[in-house]
Amino acid sequence: MSYMRFNFHSDALNRYVDISIVYPTDSYRFSDIYRPLPASSNRDKPLLSPGVKFQTVYLLHGGGDDDSLTYRYTNAEYYAQRNNVMLVTPDIVNSFGADTDYGIAYQSFIGGELPLVIQSLFASSSKREDNFIMGYAMGGNAALAAAINYPHRFCYCVDISGGIGYTLCTDTLISELEGEHFKNSFPLVNSTFGSGEKLAGSRHDLRSALLRQLSKGAEMPGFHLASGSLEFVRGRIEADANALAELGCSVEYVCAENYDHDFRFWDHYIELALDRILPLKRSI
């Protein structure tokens, strides 16, 4: 594989941001310059021609992580290699992937700006059917929101353990924002989403966003939501899957037995998503 860390100035974020990018380069050769080659070499690998574009999966990290931790705590790079797909992981800090009330537009960055930058500067296909978004924990909620707000960008979304932040159950988020738990123990939630009494119909109301997309006749991505049976956010994830189904979206929900809210589960499910769940070509 080829792994790089790319840094650029984001107009949406008004700062320089780090992006981890993975290419499945081990499956290809780039020239015949070094022939003759030993039998154990890459002589039988297909030649990668200039202009080839890769299918791309935007893989969003969890709260407290950065873009590099995903590749240090999971085998995502290896799973991408064997599925011939490009991975893109932006550093979205503890933003919940939202256009926050404190003024930083992370949702606009994820769904609006980032794909254009990646497709302009790297070998990433611009076709909707070649672009996918997924995430774990906080990144799962961010991926779900981006897929709903930018359905023309992504054809499929995998939300793994996405149980804090964005939700299709508006009353649930209102209750969380108005309650004392997050105000006392995790005030960043309220700083990001604002007052519960102002949530309904706002840019943070994911159910309203989905209804607007459906009213416009937008083609929505396919959705796959997953939780571990031991996760504290299991009920919230199940409720989001039910809400998607009730509103007519194509959605699959899986509860994985004996998995908790940790990297053991996330590594397992990133592998499963790249190997089986996402409708990838898995070849050039």
Q: What phi and psi, each to the nearest 5 degrees, are found at residue 14? A: 55, 40
User: What is the per-residue pLDDT for 31?
Assistant: 78
**pLDDT tops 70 at residue 41:** no
Q: At 3, which helix (H) or strand (E)?
A: strand 2-10
- Tens of pLDDT, residues 165-207: 999 999 999 999 999 999 999 999 999 999 999 999 999 999 9
d(CA 143, CA 141): 5
What is the fold of 2-277? Rossmann fold (3.40.50)
In the DSSP assignment, the letter for residue 23 is E
User: What would the pLDDT profile of 142-171 be if each residue is shown by its tens digit?
Assistant: 999 999 999 999 999 999 999 989 999 999
Confidence of residue 47 (pLDDT cuts 50, 70, 90): confident
Rounded distance, CA 62 to CA 135, Å? Answer: 7
Task: Answer yes or no: are the C-beta atoms of 207 and 249 closer than 8 Å.
Answer: no
**Average of per-residue pLDDT across 75-100:** 97
- Find the mean pLDDT for residues 66-78: 98
Structural domain boundaries in the chain = 2-277
Question: Is it the case that residue 116 has pLDDT exceeding 70?
Answer: yes
Answer whether residue 39 shows pLDDT above 80: no
pLDDT at 284: 77
Instruction: Let me know: does 11 contact 59? Beta carbons within 8 Å.
Output: no
Please report which confidence band the pLDDT of residue 240 belongs to, taking 50, 70 and 90 as the band edges. Answer: very high
pLDDT at 34 > cutoff 70: no
- Report yes or no: 225 and 205 within 8 Å, Cβ to Cβ: no
User: Can you give the C-alpha Rg of the chain in angstroms?
Assistant: 19
- The confidence score (pLDDT) of residue 49 equals 83
State the chain's mean pLDDT as an integer: 95
Q: Is the pLDDT of residue 10 over 60?
A: yes
- Percent above pLDDT 90 for the chain: 89
Decide if pLDDT at 283 tops 90: no
